[in-house]
Amino acid sequence: MKRITANEETCMGCGLCEVHCAVQHSTSGDMVKAYNKEKNRPLSRIRLEVSKPVSFAIQCRHCEHAPCVSACLSGAMTKDEETGLVIHDKDKCIGCWTCILVCPYGALRMDVSGNVVSKCDMCPGLDKPACVEGCPNGALVCKEVKP
Amino acid sequence: MSRYVVVGGSAAGIGAVEAIREMDPTGLITVVSEEPCPAYSRPMISDFVGGKASLQSMLCREDDFWLRKKVQLLAGTKVVSVNPAEQTIRLDNGQSIGYERLLIATGGRPFIPKMDGLGKEGVFTFTTISDAERLAERIERIRGQRAVVVGAGLIGISVTEALVKRGLRVTIVELQNSILSLLLDTKASGIVENTMRNAGVTIIAGQSVQRIVGKPDDENIVGGVVLTDGECILCDLVIIAIGVVPRTEIVSGTQVKINRGIIVDDFMQTNVPNVYASGDVAETFDFIANQNRVLPLWPLAVLEGKVAGYNMTGKKTSYMGGTNMSTLKYFGLPIVSIGIVNPEDETPFEILTKHDSKENLYKKIVLKDNLIVGIILVNDIEKAGVLHYLMKNRVNVRKFKRELISDDFGLAKLPASLRNRICLGYL
C-alpha cells in the first residue's frame, strides 16, 4: 500500500503542502476562491512541523494497528481492509477527541467547526496526493510500503 | 459447545470478537448480552438524551457487525452462573452452553449509595441505552423543569450537559471539593466550572445527597433532595452518576479470583484455565500506577478485549497497559487529562504549567525523574497524543522539557533520534 513520508533533509518549510491540502479539501477546489470566498477557511490536514533548522510535514500515517481506530468512541474511524487506509466518517464523528489523545504523531486536527476531527484521506481520485504533487522540493514522497 | 463464549456485547466484547475473527475465521463464537441491542457506543448515551444522536447513529460498528463476524448472538439474555470445572455457563432461560474459552466482559454497574427515597419515581442511573431511553421518555412526559445530578465525574457532567440541552435547570452535587477531581486539578476544574455556570448549571461541591424526598402532593414522585448540610433542593429528576463498580457476580462463588474487579494477568487471563476477563469488570495494568486496577474507560476496554481475544485463539499477546485518561468536550471546551495530574504531595514531582486566562488556555505537565507522569491540556489539545506517547514509552524528557508546554510543541521539537523513531515507524 502507498504511504506518504517526509524527508526533513530536503524540506525547506515553505508550507505549500498545507496550502495544496487545504485547497484540495475545500468546497471549490480553487486556491483563490478557497482562501478568499469560502465561508469556512479551508483547513489543511497535513501539518508543517518547524523548529528551525528542522522542518517536515506530517499527516495521518494510516497505521497498521491504528490506535485511533480502536479508541474511537463512535465508530467513525475505521480501517479499510482492502486499501489499508484509516478512514474517517465525518457524519459518525462526535468530536470527542479520543483519537487525538492516542495519535502519537499528533496528526489529527479539529475541523474548523470544532465539532469533528479532520484527517488525511490520501486524496481519493488523484494519482498523487495533493501535498506530494505540490511539494516543490520533492520532500514529500508517496511510495509503496510493506504492510 | 462453543469454541469461544463472550459474556457482554459492549466495548471489551466487541474488541474480543474482532481479534478472534482476525485469527480464527471459523471457530464458533457465542456472545451473550443482556442488552437487546449490543455494539452501540455507551459514551454516546448523553448525546441520545440531548437529542444529538439516534440509536442508529450510536452503532459503533457496521449495522450487521455480529453477522459479518459470524457470531451467534444471544441478545436480551443473561448469564446466571459460570461453572469452570465443567466449562459451561448457565443462562437465565435455563439453557447451558459449553465453552473452550470464556471471556467475562460484563462491564460495570452504577454505584448507588444507600439513601432514603431511591425507590421514588424519577430516580435514574446513567450507564446503558435503556437508562437513557427511560430518562428521555421521562423528560418528554413530565416536562420536568429541574434535575439534580449526583456526582460530577465523566458521567455526571455528560448527563448534565444533555439535560441542559433539553432545557432543564440542573444542579450538580459533588462530594469532593471540586468537579472532575479524578481527572483535573483545581485550576482546570475551575475553568470547567466557569464554563458550566455560564451555561446555567448550579454546582454544589463538598456535599452529598442525604435523601430523596417526594412531592408535596405525591410522596412517590421525586420532589427534591436533602443535602448533608440539610439544605433542600427542589427537583423533578435525580440522576445518580457516582461511578461504576465491576459486575463480577457471575463468577462469585467460583475459583476465579476477585479483588475489586476480576484479577487478570497481562494476557487478560484469570487464575482459572480458559477463563479470561476484560474491560470495566477486570483489574488491568496501569502503567503509571505500576499495578493492576479497575480503569473503567471505553478505549481501554476495547484494547483489553482485543488482547483477550488474541490470547483466546492461542496468539500470545500481552497488554501494554493503560492509565487514567480522558478527553472532555463539555459545553464545547476541549480538555485532555492523562495520568497523575493532581498529586497530593508534590515533593517528588516537577510540575510545569502555563496559564492564559484570556484564552482559557491551561497546560500542566507532571514529571517524575524526567519522565512524564501526568498531563492536563485545556483548549490546546492537538498535540496530546505526542505527549501521551512520550509518557507511555517512558521517554526521558530532560533535554527538552521546557518545550512540552510551549505553544508550538510538536514532533519537530524532539531530538532527531526520537523524532525519527516516531516518524519512520508505522504502528
Q: Where are the domains of chain B?
A: 3-108+245-313, 123-242, 334-423
CB proximity A120 to B under 8 Å: no
Quick one: CATH architecture of B334-423? Answer: 2-Layer Sandwich (3.30)
**Dihedral of CA B167/B171/B172/B178: which sign?**
positive
Name the 3-class secondary structure at A147. Answer: coil
Backbone phi, psi, residue B53, to 5°: -130, 145
B369-388 pLDDT, tens digit each: 999 999 999 999 999 999 99
Smallest CA–CA distance from A47 into chain B, residue: B410
CATH number 3.40.47.10 given to B123-242: no
Whether residues A73 and B43 touch (CB distance < 8 A) is answered with yes
Q: How many A-B residue pairs are in contact by the CB < 8 A criterion?
A: 120
pLDDT at B144 over 80: no
Whether residues A49 and B44 touch (CB distance < 8 A) is answered with no
Q: Which single residue is written with the C-alpha cell 485511533?
A: A68
Fold of B3-108+245-313: FAD/NAD(P)-binding domain (3.50.50)
pLDDT at B411 over 80: yes
CB contacts under 8 A, A 55-94 vs B, are: 55-56, 58, 61, 63-67, 70-75, 92, 94
| H or E stretch at B149 | strand B146-150
pLDDT of residue B36: 87
B300-325 pLDDT, tens digit each: 999 999 999 999 999 999 999 999 99
pTM of the model: 0.94
Smallest CA–CA distance from A103 into chain B, residue: B385
Comparison of pLDDT for B69 and B38, the residue scoring more = B69
Q: Tell me if B123-242 shares its fold with B334-423.
A: no
Rounded CA-CA distance B384/B337 in Å is: 9
Whether residues A104 and B385 touch (CB distance < 8 A) is answered with yes
Rounded CA-CA distance B294/B287 in Å is: 13
pLDDT of residue A40: 77
From B60, B332, B427, residue closest to A66, measured CB to CB: B427
Rounded CA-CA distance B280/B110 in Å is: 11
pLDDT at B275 over 70: yes
Strand partners, B328: B335
What percent of chain B is predicted at pLDDT more than 70? 99
CB contacts under 8 A, B 402-421 vs A, are: 408, 410-413, 416, 419
Give the distance from residue A120's alpha carbon to the nearest chain B alpha carbon, in angstroms: 15
Whether residues A101 and B327 touch (CB distance < 8 A) is answered with yes
DSSP B315: -
Rounded CA-CA distance B7/B38 in Å is: 11
pLDDT of residue A32: 84
B50-64 pLDDT, tens digit each: 999 999 999 999 999
pLDDT tier at B234, thresholds 50, 70, 90:
very high
Rounded CA-CA distance A58/B170 in Å is: 43
CB proximity A50 to B under 8 Å: yes
pLDDT tier at B426, thresholds 50, 70, 90:
low
pLDDT of residue A1: 81
Contact B13, B103 (CB under 8 A): yes
B328-361 pLDDT, tens digit each: 998 889 999 999 999 999 999 999 999 998 888 9
Optimal mutation site among A58, A86, A101, A109, interface B, most CBs of chain B within 10 A: A101
Whether residues B385 and A101 touch (CB distance < 8 A) is answered with yes
Whether residues B411 and A101 touch (CB distance < 8 A) is answered with no
The CA-based angle A72-A74-A78, given to 5 degrees, is 55
A61-74 pLDDT, tens digit each: 999 899 999 999 99
Intervals of chain A under pLDDT 70: 147
The C-alpha cell that represents A40 in the structure block? 469556512
Residue-wise burial string across B338-375, b where 16 or more C-beta atoms lie within 10 A, e elsewhere:
bbbbbeeeeeeeeeeeeeeeeeeebbbbbbeeebbbbb
For residue B60, list chain A residues with Cβ-Cβ distance below 8 A. Answer: 72-75
Mean pLDDT across B207-219: 96
Smallest CA-to-CA distance from B426 within A80, A86, A122, A134 is with: A86
pLDDT of residue A34: 83
pLDDT of residue B424: 67
pLDDT of residue B335: 97
Residues in CB range of B305: below 8 A, 6 or more apart: B11, B12, B13, B14, B15, B16, B17, B18, B19, B103, B105, B278, B279
